[in-house]
Amino acid sequence: MSSAGGRVIAAARRRVPWSLSAAVLGLVIVYYLPYAVLSFHLVLLTSAAGAAIAIMGLNLLFGYTGQISVGHAAFLGLGGYGAGVLVWKYHWYYLPAIIVSVVLAFVVGLAVSAPALRLRGLYLALVTLAVGAIFPGLLRRFADLTNGDNGIFNLQWQPPAWAGLYGLEGQQIWGFWISGGCLVIAGLLVHNMVRSRIGRSLLAVRDHEIAAAAAGIRISTVKALTFAVAGALGALGGALMVASIGVISPSQFGLEQSIELLVATVVGGAATLRGSIIGGAVYVYLPYYTSQFVSGPIAGVVFGGAIIVAVFVAPDGLDGLLVRITRLAGRLPPPVGRRPKPPAVRDSALDGREVEPDSGRTPARSTDTQTAAVRS
Amino acid sequence: MTHFVEALVSAISLGSIYSLLAIALVVVYRANRTLNFAQGEIGTFTIFIAFSLINHGWALGLAAVASIAIGFVVCAAVYYFLVRPLRHRPGWAVVLIGAGLYLGVNALSGTIWGANPHGFPSIFPNAVGDYFTIAGARVYYYVVGDLAALIVLTCVVSLLIGKTSIGLQMRAVAANPQSADLLGISTARVRLVSWGLAGALGSIAGLLTAPVTTLSTQMMLDVLLYGLAAATLGGLDSLKGAAIGGIAVAVTTTMLSVYVSWIGQELKEAAAMALIVTVLVVRPSGLFGTAQVQRV
């Protein structure tokens, strides 16, 4: 084949990747959605978009790399308070405030990864738990900066004049545009990251750290990078939630929220992008709807029960459930890189010896091609 | 000196409770290599049941025994119905069950007994005058009782694991579940007993906590956090580590908040956690835990 012919074929094959098309479609949806839903739901959707960004970060850390974190809410708080304090106290514009707080969270994520490089499984979980548990205390200790338990109010990001949005409704639309737009862009970035060499090395570290190291992956670099990116995404999500809701207080970023984020990640679907977005919706809508059906503390009983039911009914999260249903209809190829490893392999996210003796029979689920390729 | 002894005494009382919960967590960890995040909440739930029984005219001792027995049964049931079916699933599935129970049981207690705190009688004398003095500091009898309970229970659990048949089986499962199974040990039964034992210990921790903090749905939140810290500090598979870890965590937090003024009440948790993380970085398996060795 002549080189000219090759070039023609190459040019023909250089199509726009579908992920980019999906992102553009996503932006279009984000632009028009505020005109299609009630303003009340718009506010919830805005929160869900922010939560979804944060959950993408947690999913990178937990779903893809197998590093459990029970302190992710601290990063949301870091972003929220970082941006909120800069806007409230130092009268910054929102855009630079969010950028600075995201960069700050990236650095803090790197710092947190330092002990994480030596610890694994539940020991690591405890370190992240410590970060999550002490964060509200820190906010209260430095009350002159953060206004302590009183919180900060009226922080909404007001739409600029060129946007043509006015009043409360305009502010809500603007908040959704910002959050939804960031969600689409963050989703595209995370998608590209996990489909690249980096993403495959994350899966390799999750599935077999020693084999990954033997294959030439720098374990410490991968883990540090993942912690930093997860922290940055968490901060972005937190900052956006504050920018749209406009209220912030230490109790929004406690241990309970960290647990809920982890639950939302897994219930949505570990190690998938769709799962993170579903997780964001779960994080916002599940407590909302349980409190609609039942009031008072019994809502918590329903919420806790829903988590337990979800573990049994949807082992791969709601996304896995959807994929299974769709695949039953013969539409989708087997998913890539999503399945948690089968139990017969050692060194899981939580422990090296989870395997029960009677698990000798091979699990019915087969491993997917990508993890299998990485593992072998 | 008086001040120091008083701080130390209150720290030891708290630490005994942390240690008991840490031991409960360790017993489960040894059996299943997982943590029961709902350990504290199930404990609270059983103490609420004891509270209702006392209101129905039961004697405190009888109600206490009942709550311990219920703790055993509830945790064993949690293992049998919620944890065992997940044995072919990755470890996070059980962590999620724990999170669901943590939120659900806490809310259940709140639904049944309300959010207001209730007074709860102590199984040790704790009237205003029940103390003796060391170096001018008041040492209440219930503090001695807490420490004695910790020591006795640590000995009992150690003897159970070290000297009995079921204890030998528990050690075998802790060391290597596959080999234990091949040797004819019923791993399911060992785990059932371990979870039950942990549940009983959690109830005892609750019995000691309730008179001090008053009985409420919030009472075990801190205890769980510090219990987790204690178990990790000591090494997740070490009973001795859990017992020492709980006291160490309590003494450290109390002394830091009393003697380092800029730490104060808000940062004492942060300081203690920072210290524990530092210890873990140097010794990744805790002070007394078995180092995880991987065969390639």
Residue-wise pLDDT tens digits, A121-165: 788 888 888 888 889 888 988 888 888 888 888 888 888 888 888
ipTM, 2 decimals?
Answer: 0.88
Contact A154, A87 (CB under 8 A): no
Residue of A241, A186, A238, A286 lying closest to A47 (CA atoms): A241
Q: Which of A288-297, B148-157, B184-193 has the lowest mean pLDDT?
A: A288-297
pLDDT beyond 60 at A37: yes
**pLDDT tens digits along A69-81:** 889 999 999 999 9
Q: Which of A141-155, A335-349, B67-81, B84-98 has the lowest mean pLDDT?
A: A335-349
Across chain A, what does the average pLDDT equal? Answer: 83
Q: What is the 3-state secondary structure (H, E, C) of chain B?
A: CHHHHHHHHHHHHHHHHHHHHHHHHHHHHHHHCCCCCCHHHHHHHHHHHHHHHHHCCCCHHHHHHHHHHHHHHHHHHHHHHHHHHHCCCCCHHHHHHHHHHHHHHHHHHHHHHCCCCECCCCCCCCCCCCEEEECCEEEEHHHHHHHHHHHHHHHHHHHHHHHCHHHHHHHHHHHCHHHHHHCCCCHHHHHHHHHHHHHHHHHHHHHHHHHHHCECCCHHHHHHHHHHHHHHHHCCCCHHHHHHHHHHHHHHHHHHHHHCCCCCCCCHHHHHHHHHHHHHHHCCCCCCCCCCCCCC
Q: Which residues of chain B does A347 touch, with a Cβ-Cβ cutoff of 8 Å?
A: 294
Q: Which residues of chain B does A363 touch, with a Cβ-Cβ cutoff of 8 Å?
A: 88
pLDDT beyond 90 at B207: yes
Residue A179 sits at the chain B interface (C-beta within 8 Å) = no
pLDDT for A349: 45
Residue A301 sits at the chain B interface (C-beta within 8 Å) = yes
pLDDT for A6: 59
Q: Which residue ranges form the domains of chain A, and what is each CATH number?
A: 37-342+366-375 (1.10.3470)
pLDDT for A350: 47
Q: Mean of the pLDDT values across residues A53-77? A: 93
pLDDT beyond 70 at A312: yes
Residue A61 sits at the chain B interface (C-beta within 8 Å) = no
Split at pLDDT 50, 70, 90, the class of B96 is confident
Split at pLDDT 50, 70, 90, the class of A327 is confident
pLDDT for A333: 59
Split at pLDDT 50, 70, 90, the class of A334 is low
pLDDT beyond 80 at A191: yes
Q: Mean of the pLDDT values across residues A320-329? A: 86
Residue of B nearest to A303 (CA): B104
pLDDT beyond 90 at A106: yes
pLDDT for A173: 92
pLDDT beyond 70 at A331: no
Split at pLDDT 50, 70, 90, the class of A13 is low
Residue B216 sits at the chain A interface (C-beta within 8 Å) = no
Partner-chain contact A297 B86, CB within 8 Å: no
CB-nearest to B280 from A115, A270, A301 is: A115
Split at pLDDT 50, 70, 90, the class of A374 is very low
Hey, which residues 312-331 in chain A have their CB within 8 Å of chain B? 312, 315
Q: Mean of the pLDDT values across residues A312-340? A: 76
Partner-chain contact B284 A300, CB within 8 Å: no
Q: What are the residues whose beta carbons fall under 8 Å from the beta carbon of A180, sequence distance 6 or more? A: A26, A29, A30, A33, A45, A46, A49
Residue scoring higher pLDDT (B296 or B66): B66
pLDDT for A375: 39
Q: Mean of the pLDDT values across residues A289-299? A: 79
Partner-chain contact A263 B111, CB within 8 Å: no
pLDDT for A163: 80
pLDDT for A81: 95
Q: Mean of the pLDDT values across residues A86-102? A: 93
Structure token pair of residue B208: 């000691």
pLDDT for A38: 84
pLDDT for B17: 95
Split at pLDDT 50, 70, 90, the class of B271 is confident
Residue scoring higher pLDDT (B292 or B245): B245
Q: Which of A149-153, A233-237, B216-220 has the lowest mean pLDDT?
A: A149-153
Q: What does residue B60 show for φ and ψ, rounded to 5 degrees?
A: -60, -45
Q: Which residues of chain B does A283 touch, with a Cβ-Cβ cutoff of 8 Å?
A: none
pLDDT beyond 60 at A366: no
Beta-strand relationship, B131-134 and B137-140? antiparallel
pLDDT for A92: 92
pLDDT for A122: 82
pLDDT beyond 90 at A358: no
